[in-house]
Amino acid sequence: MLLFGTQRILDNGHLEVGGCDAVELARAFGTPLYVVDEELLRTRMREYLAAFRGLYPKVAIAFAGKAFLCTAMARIVEQEGLNLDVASAGELHTALAAQFPAERISLHGNNKSIAEIELALDSGVGRIIVDNLLELERISAAAGARGVVPHLLIRCAPGIDPHTHRRIQTGQDDTKFGLNIRSGAAMEAIRKCQDDSALHFAGIHCHIGSQLMDASCHEQAIEIMCAFLHEIRESTGVEVEELNLGGGLGIRYLEEQNPVSVEEYARAIVTAVRGGLARYGLKEPMLGQEPGRSIAGQAGLTLYEIGAVKKVPISEAPGYRSYVNIDGGMSDNPRPQLYDAVYHAFVANRANEPADTSVRVAGKHCETDILIQETRIQAPETGDILAVQGTGAYNYAMASNYNRIPRPAVVLARDGSADLIVRRETLDDLIAQDIIPERLAKTPAGNTN
Ligand SMILES: Cc1ncc(COP(=O)(O)O)c(C=O)c1O
Instruction: Say what the pLDDT of residue 418 is.
Output: 98
**Helix, coil or strand: residue 329:** coil
Of 23, 37, 123, the residue nearest 391 (C-alpha) = 37
- Please report the pLDDT score of residue 368 as a whole number: 84
| Cα 396 to Cα 72: distance, rounded to the nearest angstrom | 14
Q: Judge whether 154 lies within some domain.
A: yes
Are 321 and 360 part of one and the same domain? yes
Read off the pLDDT of each residue in 370-398 and give the average, rounded to a whole number.
98
**Which of 45, 210, 217 for mutating ligand 1's site (highest number of atoms within 8 Å of CB)?**
210
367 by Cβ neighbours in 10 Å (0-12 / 13-18 / 19+) ranks as exposed
Question: Which of the pair, 316 or 324, is modelled with greater confidence?
Answer: 324
CATH number for position 52 = 3.20.20.10
Q: Is the pLDDT of residue 167 over 80?
A: no
Q: Are residues 232 and 166 in the same domain?
A: yes
- Domain co-membership, 236 together with 373: no
Active site residue 366: yes
Nearest ligand 1 atom to alpha carbon 108: 1
Note whether residue 144 is domain-resident: yes
| CATH number of the structural domain spanning residue 22 | 2.40.37.10
CA distance 76 to 103: 17
Same domain, 318 and 179: no
Domain that holds residue 290: 38-295
> What mean pLDDT, rounded, does the chain reach?
95
State the distance from the centre of ligand 1 to the C-alpha of 292, rounded, in angstroms.
6
Judged against a pLDDT cut of 80, whether residue 171 lies above it is answered with no
CA distance 393 to 292: 7
Examine residue 442 and state whether it is found in any structural domain, yes or no: no
The mean pLDDT value for 30-55 works out to 98
Instruction: Among 269, 295, 321, give the residue marking a domain's end.
Output: 295
- 206 and 334 in a single domain? The answer is no
Binned at pLDDT 50, 70 and 90, residue 169 comes out as low
Q: Rounded to whole angstroms, how far apart are CA atoms 10 and 8? A: 6
Q: What is the pLDDT of residues 327-369, one digit of tens each?
A: 999 999 999 999 999 999 999 999 999 999 999 999 999 878 9
pLDDT bin (cut points 50, 70, 90) of residue 398 is very high
Distance 79 CA to ligand 1 centre (A): 21
- DSSP code string of 260-282: PPHHHHHHHHHHHHHHHHHHHTP
Residues with a CB atom less than 6 Å from ligand 1:
64, 66-67, 85, 108, 207, 210, 246-249, 290-294, 393
